[in-house]
Amino acid sequence: MKYPGHFSSMGSILATFLLALPPVLQAQEPDGKQLYEQNCAACHGLQFQGSGLGPALSPSSYVYGGQEWDVFRIAKNGLASKGMPAFGDTLNEAQLNAIAKYVPTRKAAEEPQTETAAPEVPQFDPVPGKVSTLDYEVDVQVVSDKLDTPWAVAFPDAQTVLVTERVGRLRVIKNGKLNEKPIAGTPEVFVHSHQWNQGGLLDIALHPEHAKNGWIYLAYSHPVPGPTADVVLAMTRVVRGKIKNHKWTQQEVVYEAAAEHYNDHFWHYGGRLIFDKQGYLYISIGDRGVLEQAREPGKPFGKFHRLHPDGSIPADNPFRNKPEFLPSIYSLGHRNPQGLAIHPETGRLWATEHGPRGGDELNVLKPTGDYGWPNVTYGINYEGTLLTPHTRLEGVEQPVIYWRPSIGVSGMTFYQGREFPLWQNKILVTALARRELRLLTLDGERVQHEETLVKFAGRPYEPVVAPDGSIYVVTDSPGMLLRLNASAERKL
């Protein structure tokens, strides 16, 4: 699907609140006023005043965004939980655009810009080199500088590092040396050329008994043909396979959304994977640019999903016995979660999540938890308009911490190891916008202190603790795998 130019900016991909429309009669001409009166006024009123069937349409009350793109998208896709059907099959794009132009919407200048954006090229620490932190003098070394937008790292053993590259390659580093040849036969991925670098080959995870069974899990943006030759549809997909003779073999699909949930948006795949202590697999999927469906029970977007390692549904999944929900759903109302970790003492899941402009979050995940997106957020639209008036609502979980302005929070892990004993059980998070590795000190489920450890030249996607306790970080532009070791403990 191709959208008009004024729908193409990142500021216009966020949402509005628009509810039930009556049955549609096709209009011969895309006259917005006529189309609205024929198809919308019975619910929303001729003067947008609302009725018993639908709310008033007013920019001051929208909670799903409020711009033309939002009206267009919701009219096209519907909002099942609010009783609004989808009209993409009965109204064409020109007609939907005409309605979107006629309905009152928020304008870019409506709300003041209230935060300062992160610098485009922040200062960075020399690599290789030494960095001083509160607790340690840290050596930062280059393991490899020949990677193309690396996204995730896994350690099948102490001498081997597996690295995913966004372009669709799985690389092997053995004893510190990068194999020039990628693993052959990995799945085809959808890679968009946009500067935000979303989609592609994303996370990698090892089965809890990988040493015995060899299973490796990959999350990626899975492409399928679109309605025309120049359109590709995609959705987050998870497969598992094994590496034999430097080839990807025995592939099995672990998670795949229904065909109707694929779309041509190139953003917000989520794509983070983790196994908990009981062996359940958790998968993050972003809102895929259909943000109002992040809280829709029958949609996979904006959710964490919980599965057995083979992809089957656990009997104790929190929504399994509720027919309106997809049985794989664990929690809902997420925007684009790209960090996931298990607390080493409590076993609880923690996750980081990209906000819009402001509103990046660190959350403790709860079964059935509703995290509010897009009805509740501490962020605003990218061009400064109000996204929703709500930062709190009854029944919506609050973040442990939120960042405003955004830091572009991405990967996370709890530190466990011998190399940095003073950091035991603290959280490491990477910040794409700030190009930093940060350390969060906790008191229970509260963040007591936050420290920037390292500033990188490229954007860091994930921190991982190696078997020896050193910290590995992948960055893009330049595409590197870096290793952090403690050279000395700092004395007060």
Burial tier of 29 (Cβ tally within 10 Å: 0-12, 13-18, 19+): exposed
- Indicate if the pLDDT at residue 415 is higher than 50: yes
The token pair at 409 is 């929070």
Percent above pLDDT 90 for the chain: 69
User: What is the tens place of the pLDDT at every residue in 458-480?
Assistant: 999 999 999 999 999 999 989 99
Query: What's the pLDDT tens digit per position in 370-382?
Result: 999 999 999 988 8
Q: Give CA–CA dist 180/171, Å, rounded.
A: 8
End-to-end Cα spacing for the chain: 60
What is the rounded average pLDDT of the residues 41-54? Answer: 74
Distances in Å between the Cα of 285 and the Cα atoms of 203, 219, 299, 305, 412 are 12, 10, 11, 8, 16
Q: pLDDT tens-digit profile of 146-183?
A: 999 999 999 999 999 999 999 999 999 999 999 999 99
CB contact at 8 A, 43 and 20: yes
Q: What pLDDT does residue 83 have?
A: 72
Structure tokens at 207: 């089965």
Domains in the chain, ordered, with CATH?
5-102 (1.10.760.10)
At residue 194 the predicted structure's pLDDT band, cuts being 50, 70 and 90, is: low
Structure tokens given for 115: 């935060």
Query: Residue 11: which of 47, 49, 65 has the closest Cα?
Result: 65
- Average pLDDT of the residues in 222-227: 94
φ, ψ dihedrals at 432, nearest 5°: -70, -45
Other Cβ atoms closer than 10 A to 4: 15
Nearest CA-CA partner of 383 in 196, 109, 119, 194: 109
Contact 205, 199 (CB under 8 A): no
Specify the pTM.
0.83
Q: How many CA atoms lie within 13 A of 383 on its CB side?
A: 17
**Active-site residues: which are they?**
268
Residue 8: which pLDDT band, with cuts at 50, 70 and 90? very low
Residue 91, pLDDT score: 85
Q: What does the buried/exposed string (b/e) look like for 235-256 if buried means 16 or more CB atoms within 10 Å of the residue's CB?
A: bbbbbbbbbeeeebeeeeebbb
Strands (E), 128-246: 129-132, 136-144, 150-157, 160-165, 169-174, 177-178, 201-206, 216-225, 232-244
Residue 19: pLDDT over 50: no
Q: What angle do CA 82, 67, 24 make, to 5 degrees?
A: 50
> What is the Cα–Cα distance from 488 to 470, expressed in whole angstroms?
13
What's the mean pLDDT in 288-305?
Answer: 95
SS3 percent helix, strand, coil of the chain, rounded to 5, is 10, 35, 55
